[in-house]
Amino acid sequence: MIRRKSKNETRRRLRLWGELEIWQQEDNHYIETGYRAASGSLIECLHSWSYVHNETVNVYTHLLGAAIFLALPSFIFKKEIPARYAIATQADVAVCSIYFLGVAICFCLSATYHTVMNHSQKMGVFGAQLDFQGVILLMWGATVPLLYYGFYCDFALQRTYSTLLSVLAVTCSMSTFQPRFCDPYLRPVRAATFGSLAIFTMVPVVHGIYKYGWDIQSQRMGVVWVVITLVLNVSGATAYAFKMPERWCRRRFDILGASHQIFHLMVVLAALTYTQGILQAFDFVHEYDHTCGLQSIG
């Protein structure tokens, strides 16, 4: 007969910060409890989905987020009269699919990293590299519909910005595979790498508003939703960067409420918010596609 492990055995499976391998102590020393021991086993890593530890929330927020974004298109494109799927062009389907799949893949890679990070040092680094690829894919994929709808009337600008975006994304992607890119002391370099890509995504927004005016472009780019998305992402990133609130209340937020968990939640909320911006752009373009010759609408 198979005996179920008791709660005490589950607790013994977890470690304090000081009991970890040296390579596991490179992240957040303000989190003191709830760590999984180095396992060297993918089976053990996956088994950790069945009990609570300090990465549980990080894993499940993004697993749930991935499921939401895989299911979301079938719901939102059936809304409105006529249904969005009935009027969507092949280009609409392509740019929206890139976004939804990009978000889902990003969240899956993130959940994978937080699942296997205690396997071994080598696997932890590889998982982090996959996580970085997911972030880049999300940022690239989110900008594709922004460019398509924002420059709906100017294919040349669409193509120019799309090319520049793709080149920058590939460059960022390649840099993440440099041997020491994941080192803790290179966090400023990582921040600069991802920050450069994030800043670039704002350039077309400003350019579009300057070229076409606020009235049209705020609709074609869902600018208000983009700004809310930015606020959510920056709020989450700030909490993570400054390790708030765990740096002030040791052990209170080790399992639930830590900065990385807040960051994950904010990213999911930001992605959902950005979806509203894409839908606003979709609806506007299909209702007012005759406005290409205008600079503003009444």
Which string of DSSP letters, residue by residue, matches 16-66?
Answer: -GGGS-GGGSSS-TT--S-EEPP---HHHHHHGGGS--TTHHHHHHHHHHH
φ/ψ of residue 233, rounded to 5: -65, -45
Between 84 and 270, residue with greater pLDDT: 270
pLDDT of residue 143 exceeding 60, the answer is: yes
Contact 61, 268 (CB under 8 A): yes
Query: How many Å separate Cα 170 from the centre of its chain?
Result: 17
| Model confidence at 76: pLDDT above 90 | no
Q: Which CATH class is domain 21-293?
A: mainly alpha
Sign of CA dihedral 280, 61, 177, 22: positive
Annotated binding site: 114, 260, 264
Query: Distance between CA 216 and CA 212 in Å, rounded?
Result: 7
Rounded Cα distance, 42 and 39, in Å: 8
Tell me the H-state helices in 77-120: 84-87, 90-116
Q: Which residue has the higher pLDDT, 109 or 291?
A: 109
Does pLDDT of 177 surpass 90? no
Mean pLDDT, residues 45-58: 97
Place of tokens 């080598």: 122
What is the share, in percent, of the chain residues with pLDDT greater than 70? 91
CA distance 43 to 34: 19
Mean pLDDT (the chain, rounded): 90
pLDDT band at 196 (very low <50, low <70, confident <90, very high): confident
Which residues are within 8 A (CB) of 146 and not within 5 positions of it... i.e. 6 or more apart?
A: 201, 204, 205, 221, 226, 277, 278, 281
Residue 290 has pLDDT above 70, yes or no: no
* Amino acid at the residue 272: L
Annotated binding site for Zn(2+): 114, 260, 264
Tell me which of 1-10, 96-105, 145-154 is least confident: 1-10
8 confidence band (pLDDT: 50, 70, 90):
very low
Structure tokens at 204: 């077309």
pLDDT in tens, 83-140: 787 888 999 999 999 999 999 999 999 999 999 999 999 999 999 999 999 999 999 9
Q: Look at residue 189 in the predicted model and tell me its pLDDT.
A: 76
